[in-house]
Structure 1
C-alpha cells in the first residue's frame, strides 16, 4: 500500500512538474509527457521527484525540479511551497541546484527547505570545479528564506554554499539546526548594495574549513577607502552555535555590519595548510579589515561564548574599524591558558583612533595579551577601551594591553575597573584606609 501511495504521489507531482518547467527542457521531458495546470500544493518531497539519497546516485535533477516547482508556486508575491528532504545522503553535482534565485521573474517572499535532522539529512555538493561553484544563489529574488534541520557538505574542495546578491530585496534568511562540513571557499558570500540583511543562525554547527570565510560581506570592491552603499550589510544574529572548524575565518566583514553572537562554543582546531598573502597562517573568528564605514554598521556584540585559543595562529577578533562599538560580555577564552604559548598569544587585536571604536569587556576571562595599533597621536588619544570586572589570566594589568610603535603607551586610552590580573604582586588593590575615628591606624575595622 505504501509503495502504491508513493507511485500515486509521484504521478500527481509529475503533472505539476511538467507545467512548472519550460517546454523542451530535459527536466520537463523526464517529468511527464503530459502537461497540466498547476494545482494547489503546500509541500513537495524530493524523493517523490526521483531523489534516492544513497550518497552515490546523482540526485541533482530532483532538486532542480523541486526548486522549479517552488518558483512556480508564488501567489501574490508569496511563496506557497515547502521543499521536504528526508533522511539520506543526497548527491548534487550542478551549481544552483538547491536554490537558483534568478526565477521567478518577480520578487517572492517565503521559501522553506526542511530536512529530517542535521545528522540525518545531508546534501553532498560535488561540482566539477570548486571555486566559483555555489550550491545556492539568490539574485535579488527571494526574501524570507528558511533552511531547517539539515547538513551541507562540500565534496569538492573550494566550492561555496550560498551566493546572495541584493539591491534591496534579498534579505531575511533563517538557518535552524543546520551543519556545514567539508572544505569551502565561502559559506555565504554577500554582494550588491542595500540590505542582504536580517539573517539568523540558530543552534547550527559550523565545521569543515574555509578558504575565505563562513560569512563574508562584500565580494566586489572590497578595497574601499570611503563608505559606500555596501555598508548597508547589517543585522546578523548567531545564537547557541557550535563553531568548531579546522581553519579559515568565521565572519569577515569588509563592509561593516551590526552583528550579535550569543552563546555557544567557538573553536578553531587546526592551521591553514598554506600561507597566503592576505591571511598568512592565521585563522580568525571575527575579522573586520576595513576602517571607514557608516557609523550605523560598526557594531559587534559577543556574549556568553566559550572560545578556545589552541595556537598562536588563532585570533578571536581582528578589527580596524575607526568608529563604532565592540562589546564582549561574560566570555571566556582561557581554556588553554595552561599551554606554554598562552602567555604570549594576542588573540584580540584592534586599531584605535580618536573616534574609537569604543571597546568594552565585561566579566570576561582573558588569555594572553591584547594588541592595540594606534592611528592617532598618543598624547591626544582619548580613552576608548575599558575592562570591567575581568580576570586577566596570564599578566597583570600593567602588562596586559600592548601597543605597536616606539613610545606607545596603552595607559592613555585603556582603563581597568575592578579587574584581577596575574603576576608576582597581583593587581588586587589594597583596601582603602578607614575614615572611622574609632579604628586605630593601620587597621580597617574596630575588631582587627
Structure 2
C-alpha cells in the first residue's frame, strides 16, 4: 500500500497552526486569575480578631465597599461589587454602617448559619444607619444579638432610597430598644419592600422589633409600603412585633408567633400594633394567612388597631392557651379595634372576646366573620364574643357567615 507523503506546503501549514495554538495557550496561561478577594471581603481582612472589638474593622470594610462601587449600565445608581462574608462571632460597640451621601445598591452579607455567624452589639447606637443611601441589600444566614437594652438594629431614613432589603434565615436575640426602625423627614418616602424569609426573633424589645413611622407628625411616612414576613418564628419575650404608626401594606404568611413572657411593667405586648394617627386609608392593608399565635399572658394581644384600611386574618388560630382560666373571662380580648373600616376573619379558631370601640360615625365599614369557631373552652354567643362600645356603637354591624359555632 503506497504511503502518502505530505508536501512541503502541508508541513508549513501544520506548523503554522501549531504555533498559533501554542501562542494561544501561552496567552491564556499568562492571564491574571480572577481574585476572590476582589469580590468577597471579610472583617478579618480589615483587622477583626477573635475576642476583640471589631467596630473599626467593620467601618473600614464599609469604606472599602464604598470605594469599589461601579456604575450601573442600565441606571444611575452605582452598584456594590463585593459580598461581605461573615465566618465568626464579631463584637462591635458602634454603628458599622454609617451615614454617607449618595445612593448605592446591591450590597450582600452572607453568613454560615445562625449563631455561627453573629454580630453582637454592645453599645447603644443603631448597628446599621441607612440615611437615604442603600437599596437592594441582602442578608443571609446571620444572627444579630444585643447586650445593651438601648441598642437598635437598623435606623433607616429615606426620601426615596432605602428600599428592597431582604433577610433570609436570619435571627435577632438579646435586649434591644427596637429592631428595625423606619423614619424620615417631612419629605420622606419609600423605606419600602422589606422581606423577611424564615427568620427568627427572640429576645426583648422596649418598643418594637419592627417599627415603621417613628415620627408620626411627618405625613409622608404613610408612603412606607410593602412588607412581607414569610414562615418566620416571632418568639420574643416581650415588646410589640410589628408597630406601624403610619400606613403600610403588610403580608404575613405562616410561621409561629409567640410571646414567651410579658413586659416588666405589666403593659401589653402586641403582635400587631397600629396606633391612631393621620393615615390614608389606601395604604393601610394587613393580610395574615396561616399563622399560629400564642399570646401566653392575658395582658398580651394579637392585634391592637386604629387603622381605617383593610385587615384580614385567614386560617389563623390563637387557641393554644385556651385552657387558661382567663381565656374564658369577659376581660380577655386579644383582638381590639378602634373605629375600624374593613375587618375580616375567615376560617379562624379564636379565643376570648373581640373588642370594638366606635367613636366615629362608621364609613365604608364591613366587619365579617366567615366559617370561624371559638375554642371549646370559650365558645360564646354573639353577644358574649363581641364587645362593642363607644358613642357610635349602635351603628356597628357585624356579619357572621357559616359560623362553626352557629352564630348568625
Instruction: Calculate the TM-score normalised by the size of structure 1.
Output: 0.77
The structural deviation recorded for 1:314 is 0.8
Equivalent position SS for 2:62: helix
Residue aligning to 2:137: 145
The 1:408–1:294 alpha-carbon spacing in structure 2 relative to 1, beyond 3 Å, is closer
Aligned with 2:247 (options 256, 279, 283):
256
Aligned with 1:346 (options 333, 340, 347):
333
The structural deviation recorded for 1:69 is 1.2
Question: Which segments of 5 or more consecutive residues in structure 2 lack a partner in the other structure?
Answer: 1-35, 72-77
Aligned with 1:295 (options 272, 281, 287):
281
Residue aligning to 1:106: 102
Do structure 1's residue 267 and structure 2's residue 258 form an aligned pair?
A: yes
The 1:405–1:126 alpha-carbon spacing in structure 2 relative to 1, beyond 3 Å, is same
Q: Is the 8 A contact 1:383 1:414 kept in 2?
A: no
Task: Give the number of the structure whose alpha-carbon radius of gyration is greater.
Answer: 2
Q: Is the 8 A contact 1:392 1:419 kept in 2?
A: no
The 1:383–1:61 alpha-carbon spacing in structure 2 relative to 1, beyond 3 Å, is closer
The structural deviation recorded for 1:406 is 7.7
Residue aligning to 1:232: 223
Residue aligning to 1:324: 309
The 1:290–1:382 alpha-carbon spacing in structure 2 relative to 1, beyond 3 Å, is closer
Q: Is the 8 A contact 2:65 2:80 kept in 1?
A: yes
Residue aligning to 1:314: 300
Equivalent position SS for 1:274: coil
The structural deviation recorded for 1:49 is 2.4
Aligned with 2:272 (options 281, 286, 289):
286
**Per-residue CA shift, 1:22-49, capped at 9, x if unaligned?**
xxxxxxxxxxxxxxxxx98211122232
Measure, in 1, the Cα distance between the counterparts of 2:265 and 2:46: 42
Measure, in 1, the Cα distance between the counterparts of 2:129 and 2:393: 47
The 1:385–1:65 alpha-carbon spacing in structure 2 relative to 1, beyond 3 Å, is same
Question: Which segments of 5 or more consecutive residues in structure 1 lack a partner in the other structure?
Answer: 1-38, 276-280, 422-426, 430-448
Do structure 1's residue 154 and structure 2's residue 149 form an aligned pair?
A: no
Residue aligning to 2:349: 365
**Per-residue CA shift, 1:310-337, capped at 9, x if unaligned?**
111111111111x210010000100011
| Count, aligned residues | 360
Q: How does 1:108-123 map to 2 (within 5 A)?
A: 108-123=104-119
Q: Is the 8 A contact 1:47 1:85 kept in 2?
A: no
| Backbone CA RMSD of aligned residues | 2.1
Measure, in 1, the Cα distance between the counterparts of 2:343 and 2:278: 16
The structural deviation recorded for 1:182 is 0.8
Q: How does 1:370-409 map to 2 (within 5 A)?
A: 370-377=354-361, 384-393=366-375, 394=378, 395-405=380-390, 408-409=393-394
Measure, in 2, the Cα distance between the counterparts of 1:302 and 1:68: 40
Do structure 1's residue 212 and structure 2's residue 219 form an aligned pair?
A: no
Equivalent position SS for 1:75: coil
The 1:390–1:73 alpha-carbon spacing in structure 2 relative to 1, beyond 3 Å, is same
Measure, in 1, the Cα distance between the counterparts of 2:363 and 2:46: 64
Q: Is the 8 A contact 2:357 2:393 kept in 1?
A: no
Q: Is the 8 A contact 1:317 1:349 kept in 2?
A: yes
Do structure 1's residue 177 and structure 2's residue 173 form an aligned pair?
A: no
Measure, in 1, the Cα distance between the counterparts of 2:382 and 2:299: 24
The 1:405–1:112 alpha-carbon spacing in structure 2 relative to 1, beyond 3 Å, is same
Equivalent position SS for 1:57: coil
The structural deviation recorded for 1:399 is 1.6
Q: Is the 8 A contact 2:341 2:364 kept in 1?
A: no
Q: Is the 8 A contact 1:381 1:413 kept in 2?
A: no
Instruction: Calculate the TM-score normalised by the size of structure 2.
Output: 0.84
The list of structure 1 runs, each at least 4 consecutive aligned residues, that deviate by more than 3 angstroms after superposition, is 380-383, 405-410
Q: Is the 8 A contact 1:198 1:236 kept in 2?
A: yes
Measure, in 1, the Cα distance between the counterparts of 2:277 and 2:56: 45
